[in-house]
Every structure is written in structure tokens, then in C-alpha cells.
């Protein structure tokens, strides 16, 4: 009996050890996931999550941090993406016209510029091309997270009217440079005038005449260089402002209608029709660009 009890106790101990061993892998796996989550949260700043950060993350890191069951989808996701996009456009971090089109299952958020487009679906999937696509990808990921706070923006937030873009920026800095340039130029002319006066005997500079002349030339040249710098800066500002206004007009900013190359009927319908038409427009634009490049190569330009 004693042997029987001992055998039973040994079997019981073995069974307990086996059960403990069976639990160990699960606990180790859960601990590894938690450690990976902590490591990712320490490595990345999700308040400033960028496309570069998204590209660096592995699939395991993404799954460890983001729980698919807690992702926001549907119309609420589109609301958040639209607000985030308009905020980034308003702060000049993204250049694009943003629209909300379609109803129900065909509802979409569309952003387009002169360099590409992107369409965001209610399930969080996206379609598009160009730099705008790379800008929007991390936005959709962030907006699908409940913990991410989307900034509040006005309904009309977006690209400015082309005519509201100022001709130049940094005018105060340019004025300060002009003042410095004027002082240097006047000082240089005064030194040169003193040297000329010494030549006619009006002033007696002696051996200091050469130094006065040198200082006058140096000050005058410095003033001229600063004046040229200011003029070049103002010209560059005007050119950049004009280019920005041209880009705004190209995407229809400030106008009631969309650019002529965009399919109005598809925008009204939304859904798959819009996706197909936007893809067609993009292919046609690429074909025209290829033809232009071939034409320039043939003409040797």
C-alpha cells in the first residue's frame, strides 16, 4: 500500500510538473509580447509618428502595439482622417485638396494634389500614388487608434485662396539687412570722401590716408553685397509665392469647382467608381508625362 501511495504521489508530482511545464511556454510568449510592446513604445513617439517610422516597424512590432479589435473604422474613421488631413494641410505640412464624397458604403475621403492622390475607405484601406499617399498612410494608422487625439479644425480648413498668398515673407529681416547695408555704404562713402579731401589738402590724414581708403572700400563693398543679398531674397520669395499660387490654382483652391481633369460624376458617386476613374486619370497623366519626356529627348532639350 505504501508503495502504491508513493507511486500515486510520484505520478501526481510528475503530472503537476508536466502541467507547470505546459503553462511555461504560454507565459513566456505573453511576456515576450509585453516586452516587445514596451520596447516599441519606448522607441517610437506615436504623437509624431511619421512614414519613416512606419516603414521601420516590423510586422511583429506593429501587431504587438496595435490591437486590431480596438481599431476605429467606418464613418468615424473617415471623420478623424478628414480632420487630421485638413489640419496638416492648414499647417502647410501637406499640400492637397481634401473632400468627403459618397454615402454609406461608397463614402470616401479623397485628397489630391498636382503630384498624386489618395482615397481612404471606411475599413482603413487606401488607394493612391505620389507623395500624398506616403503622407496619408501613417495618418490612417494613427486615426484608427482610440488613444490618438485628432486636432479640432474648421470645416473649411484647407488650402488658402491663391490671391491670399503674400508676395514675400520675412520682410522685417530684409528691412534690417537694408538698414545695415545702408549704414555700411554711407560709412564707406564717408571714408572715401575723407581720403579725397586729404588729396586736395582739405584734411591732413598723413600716413592714415591709405587705411582710411581701405576701410572705405571694404565698407562700401560690404554694403553693396548686403543690398544684392536682400534683392535676391525678395526675388526668390516672389518666385516661390508665384509657384505656390500656381499649384493652388492647379488643384482648384479658392474656386467652386474641381480641376477639369477630375471626373465630377465619379466624385459625386464615390465608392468603386471613383477609385477606377482616379486610377484612369493617373495613368493618363503618366502617359502624357512619358510622351513629353520622349519628345524632349528627341529634340535634344
| pLDDT tens per residue across span 129-179 | 888 888 898 899 889 888 788 888 887 788 888 887 877 665 777 788 889
Q: What is the pLDDT of residues 190-242, one digit of tens each?
A: 988 888 888 877 777 777 878 888 999 999 999 999 999 988 888 888 888 88
pLDDT of residue 124: 87
Distance CA 6, CA 149 (A): 63
Spatial contact of 159 and 248, defined as CB atoms under 8 Å apart: yes
Name the CA dihedral angle for 38, 39, 45, 49, rounded to a multiple of 10 degrees: -110
pTM higher than the cut 0.85: no
Residue 120 has pLDDT above 60, yes or no: yes
pLDDT at 79 over 50: yes
Mean residue pLDDT across the chain? 79
Percent of the chain having pLDDT more than 70? 80
Amino acid at each position: 500500500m505504501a508503495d502504491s501511495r508513493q507511486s500515486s504521489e510520484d505520478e501526481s508530482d510528475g503530472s503537476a510538473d508536466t502541467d507547470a511545464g505546459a503553462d511555461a511556454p504560454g507565459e513566456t510568449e505573453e511576456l515576450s509580447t509585453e516586452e516587445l510592446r514596451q520596447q516599441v513604445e519606448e522607441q517610437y513617439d506615436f504623437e509624431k509618428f511619421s512614414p519613416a517610422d512606419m516603414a521601420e516597424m516590423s510586422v511583429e512590432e506593429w501587431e504587438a502595439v496595435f490591437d486590431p479589435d480596438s481599431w476605429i473604422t467606418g464613418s468615424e474613421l473617415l471623420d478623424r482622417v478628414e480632420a487630421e488631413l485638413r489640419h496638416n494641410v492648414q499647417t502647410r505640412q501637406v499640400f492637397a485638396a481634401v473632400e468627403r464624397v459618397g454615402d454609406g458604403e461608397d463614402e470616401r475621403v479623397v485628397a489630391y494634389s498636382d503630384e498624386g492622390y489618395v482615397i481612404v475607405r471606411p475599413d482603413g484601406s487606401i488607394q493612391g500614388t505620389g507623395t500624398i499617399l506616403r503622407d496619408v498612410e501613417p495618418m490612417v494608422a494613427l486615426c484608427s487608434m482610440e488613444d490618438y487625439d485628432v486636432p479640432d479644425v474648421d470645416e473649411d480648413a484647407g488650402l488658402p485662396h491663391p490671391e491670399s498668398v503674400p508676395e514675400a515673407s520675412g520682410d522685417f529681416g530684409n528691412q534690417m539687412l537694408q538698414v545695415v547695408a545702408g549704414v555700411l555704404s554711407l560709412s564707406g562713402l564717408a571714408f572715401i570722401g575723407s581720403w579725397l579731401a586729404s588729396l586736395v589738402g582739405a584734411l591732413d590724414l598723413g600716413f592714415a590716408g591709405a587705411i582710411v581708403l581701405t576701410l572705405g572700400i571694404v565698407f562700401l563693398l560690404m554694403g553693396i553685397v548686403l543690398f544684392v543679398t536682400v534683392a535676391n531674397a525678395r526675388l526668390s520669395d516672389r518666385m516661390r509665392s508665384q509657384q505656390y499660387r500656381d499649384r493652388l490654382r492647379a488643384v482648384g483652391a479658392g474656386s467652386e469647382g474641381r480641376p477639369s481633369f477630375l471626373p465630377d460624376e465619379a466624385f459625386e458617386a464615390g465608392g468603386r467608381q471613383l477609385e477606377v476613374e482616379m486610377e484612369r486619370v493617373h495613368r493618363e497623366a503618366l502617359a502624357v508625362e512619358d510622351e513629353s519626356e520622349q519628345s524632349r529627348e528627341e529634340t535634344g532639350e
